[in-house]
Amino acid sequence: MPFSCLSVMSTTKNYHWRIAGFYFFYYAFVGMFSPYWSLYLKSIHFDAIEISILMSIQPVMRMVAPNIWGWLADHTGKRLLVVQVAASLSALFYLGVFATTGFWGLFLTLALMSFFWSASMPLVEATTLSYLGKNTAHYGRIRSWGSIGFIVSVVGLGYAFDYVAIAWLLWAGLVCEVGILIFSRQIPKTEMQAHHSDHQPIRQIVLQPRVLALFGACFLMSVAHGPYYTFYSIYLVEHGYAKSAVGGLWALGVICEIGVFFLMPALVRRFGFTRILLVSFSAAILRFMLIAWAVDIVVLLLFAQMLHALTFGAYHAASVGLVHQFFQGRHQSKGQALYGSLTYGAGGMLGGLASGPIWQHWGASALYSCSAGAALLGLILMWWKLRQTV
């Protein structure tokens, strides 16, 4: 084989691992934060309302920050520089968690950290899809390394916290932040391809009925998941599950998610993004009803976690793929940023903030039944406006 071909193959492989490394540490941070941060907050004596507020800061920043950073990246054409600056400042402000345990101190620290932390992923998503070119169905194979990072974090910490204090969580978060910072400087540069829609204002794309329906349905899916990310670990511990078992249940869902990521190229070819999303919303309804009413039946709870393969894995890959189809050329970064802001940001914020009062006044079964209801509304919206989109 000619040397030039070997060189190209080596470069492509190196690029793959550079992007995969960023996903690994970014979602290892999520694996630290989503399952265990609420337990840490409870350990320093915050109540349900305060926990729901502090846990909702990150989705609030995911609603606000990505649009600012996405506009800056597309306006300057320096997408990777923006990622690197955001990763550096996120790591810097994270250090504040070691300095305070007060409500307002943590509120400010998490707000500043999350403002920069949430900037990176939409831009990296756009970079990954540009890097893949016409092979966007293979996105899940690179993204699966994020799932592996999540598993390593959630399982490792789950077992650790059966033996050490939950306060060690802060150091795990610092390791993840440093990993994000290191790999932000390794991601390859990709060129933004010109597209015939470049001359259009982005609002003309956003206001298309199919785009509004996608964003609206994904917003509702994030609302449905808000209580899951805020109170699921506390819910399990209160029902007698050990922290190692909590970590195992979180990990089970993500292991199934990885399997779906590897199957996505074949699934997309056969069914298309929209049909996959319709199945994902249907699975979410079933999953949250099982969490609401079958938490003490281990077999059904395990099945509910296995449905994470559909409610997040297939859902996320398909929705990101559709966003990439709808937003082309110079609108790619802004499109992914809008998707993250309006869905994971605004939807996660609403779901997280609403979960505190519902949990406190009506209990967990009512809370997760509301999650199932939000997923049902998303399914109806998808079926109404997007079922013909493939």
pLDDT value at 191 more than 70: no
Q: Are 314 and 221 in contact (CB under 8 A)?
A: no
Region of poorest pLDDT, from 61-65, 158-162, 328-332: 328-332
Q: What percent of the chain has pLDDT over 70?
A: 92
DSSP category for residue 387: T
- Amino acid identity of 97? V
210-236: per-residue pLDDT in tens?
A: 999 999 999 999 999 999 988 999 999
Q: Where are the domains of the chain?
A: 11-385
Region of poorest pLDDT, from 27-31, 221-225, 339-343, 376-380: 339-343
Q: Are 221 and 281 in contact (CB under 8 A)?
A: yes
Region of poorest pLDDT, from 31-35, 272-276, 364-368, 384-388: 384-388
pLDDT value at 11 more than 60: no
Give 136 or 41, the one with higher predicted confidence: 41
Q: Give the pLDDT of residue 12.
A: 44
The secondary structure element, H or E, covering residue 25 is helix 3-43
322-367: per-residue pLDDT in tens?
A: 998 898 777 777 888 889 888 988 998 899 889 989 999 999 999 9
Binned at pLDDT 50, 70 and 90, residue 190 comes out as low
Q: Give the pLDDT of residue 131.
A: 75
Mean pLDDT, the chain, whole residue set:
88
Region of poorest pLDDT, from 66-70, 114-118, 268-272: 66-70
pLDDT value at 303 more than 90: yes
Residues 17-21, mean pLDDT to the nearest whole number: 87
Locus of tokens 């390593």: 152
Burial class (CB in 10 A: 0-12, 13-18, 19+), 296: exposed
∠ at Cα 356 (243, 298), nearest 5°? Answer: 35
Half-sphere exposure of 10 (CA within 13 A, CB side): 7
pLDDT value at 185 more than 60: yes
Give 95 or 48, the one with higher predicted confidence: 95
pLDDT value at 33 more than 60: yes
Q: Give the pLDDT of residue 380.
A: 96
Range 11-385 classified under CATH 1.20.1250.20: yes
